Amino acid sequence: MATPPLAASGMAPGPFAGPQAPQATREVNTASLCRIGQETVQDIVYRTMEIFQLLRNMQLPNGVTYHTGTYQDRLAKLQDHLRQLSILFRKLRLVYDKCNENCGGMDPIPIELIPYVEEDGSKNDDRAGPPRFASEERREIAEVNKKLKQKNQQLKQIMDQLRNLIWDINAMLAMRN
């Protein structure tokens, strides 16, 4: 899971370092760097969970008789996990810096320009016009939700009025009998 080293000299490392080497320096792909970064983040999360597990099981020395050997062993494990976590964060920083260096000249794509595509990959037949974007779709959903809430409020008022009317009718029928 370690990052492949970059060749510092003009020749590729290994037994075929002569003039037959096809590429003088080995360039690391940005996508593979991102994959390495993702694996590093997963390792960081795993180590952090282990640290919390150790801390949860570790009793604090508050004057209670405690086995110092067990305490020292758990403390050593905790310090080892913290050291490894520090190494993983440094590795993540190196991967992050290298990705930023490789992508320095690229312009980020604005979120509004990414078209909304349904999960099944097909578009509805009523969308015959130009492609609709996620922000436009979100705005329309918000408008429909607002109208739906207004209609629900109106229906609730009508139901309350009908309930009151039925209550009054039942009260008058009860008084008549």
DSSP state of 12: -
Encoded amino acid at 7, one letter: A
Q: 13-17, 80-84, 136-140: which has the minimum mean pLDDT? A: 13-17
Give the torsion sign (CA, 114, 120, 123, 124). Answer: negative
- Phi, psi angles (nearest 5°) of residue 6: -85, 140
Domain range summary for the chain, segments of one domain joined by +: 28-105, 136-176
Q: Which residues, including other chains, have CB under 8 Å from residue 159's CB and lie 6 or more apart?
A: none
What are 100-134's pLDDT values in tens digits? 888 876 766 655 655 666 666 555 545 555 666 77
With a cut of 50, say whether residue 24 has pLDDT above it: no
What are 41-62's pLDDT values in tens digits? 999 999 999 988 888 877 666 6
How far apart CA 17 and CA 2 sit, in angstroms, is 22
What are 139-164's pLDDT values in tens digits? 899 999 999 999 999 999 999 999 99
With a cut of 50, say whether residue 97 has pLDDT above it: yes
